[in-house]
Amino acid sequence: MCPKLLLQQCWALKAEWDQEVPDDVRKCFLRWMQDLPLLQEVKIPRWLKGMSERVISCSLHTFCDVSKMAYAAAVFACYECGTCVQVQLVQAKTRVAPVKAVTIPRLELLATTIGTRLATSIVKELKQKDIQLPFWSDSSTVITWIKRDDHWGVFVWNRVQEIRELTSKKSWRHVPGS
């Protein structure tokens, strides 16, 4: 996300390609560069551990959230194996917020839209039957938009319709933001 935000900042400056960036942008970039070696410490399994015969049930939990600068969704597989439960990150997606100011509820709606798409594509690839798909958001506004049958403005309506086509209204749940 950091390079995406830096690039967006640079575009907003409308600077020439050979023009130096301001000190705050340069310092942020250098901090990011210093942190890059830490990626060698990150270990991400290439296969989903829980997909075995001993799995009693499987669910994919999708979490959607935003900040003023970005929005994201992450999908976790939750496997119940007898007396234990295993949780594993399956996939995540992030996007920078539009340059033109957008309200937090609209950003939350964008996050739920990419979360819906992400979970749907994962289910399609897994080719597993009977996977529960709970979706989580800290935005009660967005959950209301999804669950109520009111006709919203065009921006909201188009995204809510896509979310409803791909998910069940009942699958959307509120999680406290804190």
Q: Kindly state the average pLDDT of the residues 119-129.
A: 87
Residues 98 and 14 occupy one common structural domain: no
Residues 12 and 65 occupy one common structural domain: no
Residues 108 and 158 occupy one common structural domain: yes
**What is the reported pLDDT for 50?**
54
Give a yes or no: residue 50 inside a domain: no
Give a yes or no: residue 48 inside a domain: no
Contact 50/88 with Cβ under 8 angstroms? yes
For 138-164, write each residue's pLDDT tens digit.
Answer: 999 999 999 998 888 999 999 999 999
Alpha carbons 147 and 4: distance in angstroms, whole number: 33
Alpha carbons 70 and 171: distance in angstroms, whole number: 24
Give a yes or no: residue 47 inside a domain: no
Residues 63 and 109 occupy one common structural domain: yes
Per-residue confidence at 122, pLDDT binned at 50, 70, 90?
very high
Question: To the nearest whole number, what is the mean pLDDT of the chain?
Answer: 90
Alpha carbons 136 and 108: distance in angstroms, whole number: 11
Contact 135/115 with Cβ under 8 angstroms? yes
Please, which residues have CB within 8 angstroms of residue 19's CB and are 6 or more apart in sequence? none
For 162-176, write each residue's pLDDT tens digit.
Answer: 999 999 999 999 999
Per-residue confidence at 85, pLDDT binned at 50, 70, 90?
confident
Residues 102 and 161 occupy one common structural domain: yes
Residues 20 and 61 occupy one common structural domain: no
Give a yes or no: residue 51 inside a domain: no
Residues 62 and 117 occupy one common structural domain: yes
For 29-56, write each residue's pLDDT tens digit.
Answer: 999 999 999 999 988 777 776 555 566 7
Residues 9 and 64 occupy one common structural domain: no
Residues 37 and 61 occupy one common structural domain: no
- Strand stretches in 53-161, DSSP E: 57-66, 70-81, 84-96, 135-137
* pLDDT > 70: percent of the chain: 96
For residue 177, what are its two tokens? Answer: 């933001």
- Predicted TM-score (pTM) of the model is 0.86
CATH number at residue 150: 3.30.420.10
Alpha carbons 67 and 72: distance in angstroms, whole number: 9
Give a yes or no: residue 18 inside a domain: yes
**What is the reported pLDDT for 129?**
73
Give a yes or no: residue 14 inside a domain: yes
Residues 35 and 109 occupy one common structural domain: no
Q: What's at 29, amino acid-wise?
A: F
